Amino acid sequence: MMIFQGKEELRADCFTAYIQAKALINQPKKEKHVHIIPKNPNSDPYDYFYADLAAIDSAIIKATKQVTDSKGRVALSYIQDVHNNQDGVNVTTEIIFSNGGRITMPPMWFKTYTTSSPQQIAGIITYAKRYSLSAAFGIASEDDDDIKTLIETGNYQPSDNPPHKLGRKELDEYKVKYLGMSARLVDVYQDYIDGVPEANGWIRSRHDEQTAIAIKQLNQAYHQQEAEKKSREEQAAKVAKEAEEKKAALDKVKQSKVEEPKKDPFADKKVEVDSDPVTDSLF
C-alpha cells in the first residue's frame, strides 16, 4: 500500500502530479536479452527481453521534467532506499515532491541467502531496484512475469550486466552445460581443438550471447597463439638459414685460400742474372 507523507492539503497536488507523470511515460524499449537456464534440470532454458535500470530511469526522468508545480519547478522525482542483510535485499521507492510531500511505495524484498557470490548479490539488488521502480511508475520492464518468482525460489540469479568480454580468470572458470553436465568452456574448447566430434558439434551449435562471446575469445586466443608459434618457427628457420649461408660463405673463402698458390712477396724484387759457373758451384 502506498503511504503519503506531508501536509494533508498537499495530498491532492502530489497525487495529481504523480498521475500526470505516469501518463507521460513512454514505455522504454526492451533491448536487453537474457538466456535463462533454470537450476531445475526438468525445466527448459528460455530467453526473455527487458529494459534495464538505466532505460527505466531515463523514461521516468523525461516524463517528470514535463510536470511542473505552480512555481515552474519540476514537481516530482524519486529516490530508492536499499537495505541488505544476510537473508535478502529490501528496496523501497519513494516519490518526492517539490512541495515537500512524499509517497512511499510498498517495499520489494528478494532473498539472497541462496548465493554467496558478490556479483550475483549485486545483480539481485539491481534487479530489485528495477522491479520496484517499474512497479512505482507502471512500467512493463520485461516480457516475463515469472522472473520474480524464479529469483525468490533461488532458481535464477539475475544480472543487469550485459554480455561482455571476460577477464582471464572469468574465462578460465566459465562453465557451460555440455553433454548434460556442467563443464568448463576451456576444456570443451580443447576437446574441439583435439578433434572430439561431440565438442565440435557443441562449439558450432547456437549459444546464448555471453557464451558466444567467450567462445570467440578462446578462438581468438588460439589463433593468436598459433600465429605466434608460426612466427617463432619462421624466425628460427630464418636464423638457421642465415647461419648456414654464413657458414657456407666462410667455408668457400677458406677453400679458395687452400687452392690458391701462395704468392712470393719478393717476386717483384727479383732480378734475372746470367749464370756464373763459379758462383753456381758454391751451391
Would you give per-residue pLDDT tens digits along the chain (283 residues)? Answer: 789 999 999 999 999 999 999 999 999 988 887 766 655 556 666 667 788 889 999 999 999 999 999 999 999 999 999 988 777 889 999 999 999 999 999 998 887 655 666 777 777 888 889 989 999 999 887 654 445 555 545 545 444 455 678 888 889 989 988 888 889 999 999 999 999 888 988 998 888 778 888 999 999 999 998 999 899 999 999 999 888 888 888 888 777 766 666 666 666 666 565 656 655 555 5
Q: Identify whether residues 157 and 169 lie together within a single domain.
A: no
Domain membership of residue 33 (yes or no) is: yes
Q: Identify whether residues 113 and 193 lie together within a single domain.
A: no
Please tell me the distance from the alpha carbon of residue 48 to that of residue 46, in angstroms, as a whole number: 7
Alpha helix (H) residue ranges in the chain: 11-24, 53-64, 118-137, 147-152, 168-173, 185-193, 197-203, 209-259, 277-280
Q: Identify whether residues 152 and 167 lie together within a single domain.
A: no
Domain membership of residue 267 (yes or no) is: no
Residues in the chain: 283
Predicted TM-score (pTM) of this structure? 0.51
Q: Identify whether residues 84 and 96 lie together within a single domain.
A: yes
Q: Identify whether residues 66 and 134 lie together within a single domain.
A: yes
Name the grid cell of 178. 555440455
Which residues span the domain enclosing 180? 163-256
Q: Identify whether residues 249 and 133 lie together within a single domain.
A: no
Domain membership of residue 283 (yes or no) is: no
Q: Identify whether residues 121 and 179 lie together within a single domain.
A: no
State how many domains the chain has.
Answer: 2
Domain membership of residue 198 (yes or no) is: yes
Q: Identify whether residues 112 and 44 lie together within a single domain.
A: yes
Question: 208 pairs with which residues across the strands?
Answer: none
Domain membership of residue 35 (yes or no) is: yes
